[in-house]
Structure 1
């Protein structure tokens, strides 16, 4: 029997007013263990899609299921619990708390989820060690480079062992060297089985990191292609057939 997809959107539409839909009848699925990139220009629907999957917003119609949970049917409290249990998020500008040490920043999600302080500290120290930044555990984020801060953000995102890691422009605020470090980190995490949804406008990052790229145009899926590791190959590849029910 085929395992159900980790992410499953069915005809998901989001309208904020009487204008065009921010997301227009999107049907897509992501299997457990995949790394999938979502590409699109500003206004294409990338942020809206991310917010629906993260339970930060609800579709106007259609369904959003993640790790067996109907995210679109959750209330405010249920959405918060779902994010703590199932979702890790990495942001372009890190979103670290400058008045907390690196270690305390990483521990925050576990403490919000009710993990004991001792257990949370042990896991945070282990994560910082695995990401090569344990020597900065007692430093404050503003003392670190951009690449180091993004590693702290990744450790925080992994704290509660999420089923899904959402990376929203994770290299957008980094220099080229730090961006390459983060790209390699995402590859390493995925090779260990972490499911990743990478939202970016960077075609090179998508081609070199993700197994698959989904391109959004005006809120609809324009292309869904398997990557071969090159920008040229990704652009030239014939789009895959859209799933039944996907927007035209």
Structure 2
């Protein structure tokens, strides 16, 4: 199991975010995620967890505080810079997959590589390898609408990993799946982390967090209420100290 390193991949310091209506979405949030960690951001609806994810992804900016990911000051990027940052450093997986139904599985996975200008031969080789690794290579010519929810999420993960990003963000990745498919995707996230992928998972599902991550960060009313290891995280630490 991959351990947290001393090299931080994500650093948020004193982040505040206010919207016109209602209470502040984030209040003095400071958190660090090391390379190779799998961290779950837990909280009920309206707690601020999705806003925090958007800060890390460069989809939103704080009113104050700093957001640094992989050495990039994300809060200081303009729209062009933020788009380039997401292409090069972030892979995103969503609750409802966001696959393009008029494209085949292969073409969906190839999209990120086309945006970065990766050569077509290398892109196709990489896409086929990912689809094989994730167990959906036999659907390469199918359209997403013909796949199960769990299979579509595996294709979405392949697309997210296409440009080999240092960080994978997953926003309620099992929220639209039945229990069996959800368990399948949870296992996939666990395997990716074991192979060295840094994962930040946003969810309200405590069981999913415990099964896939080594650490949980709980948010309540825009503030970090707790930051603690999961049972997997504690077991990993004990294994290292033996």
1:155 shift after superposition: 0.2
Residue aligned with 1:6, SS: strand
Where do 1:1-248 residues align within 5 Å? Answer: 3-17=6-20, 19-229=22-232
Deviations 1:40-98, CA, capped at 9 Å, x for gaps: 00000011001000000110000000001000000000000000000000000000000
CA distance in 2, matches of 1:215, 1:96: 30
CA distance in 1, matches of 2:222, 2:124: 42
1:209 shift after superposition: 1.1
Q: How many residues align?
A: 230
CA distance in 1, matches of 2:179, 2:104: 26
Displaced runs of 4+ in structure 1, greater than 6 A?
none
Q: Which runs of 5+ in 2 are unaligned?
A: 235-242
1:28 shift after superposition: 0.3
CA distance in 1, matches of 2:210, 2:7: 26
CA distance in 2, matches of 1:116, 1:26: 40
Given the two structures, how large is their TM-score scaled by the length of structure 1?
Answer: 0.90
CA distance in 1, matches of 2:46, 2:215: 21
Q: Which runs of 5+ in 1 are unaligned?
A: 234-248
CA distance in 2, matches of 1:98, 1:138: 12
CA distance in 2, matches of 1:18, 1:147: 37
1:122 shift after superposition: 1.1
1:18 shift after superposition: 5.9
Given the two structures, how large is their TM-score scaled by the length of structure 2?
Answer: 0.93
1:19 shift after superposition: 3.7
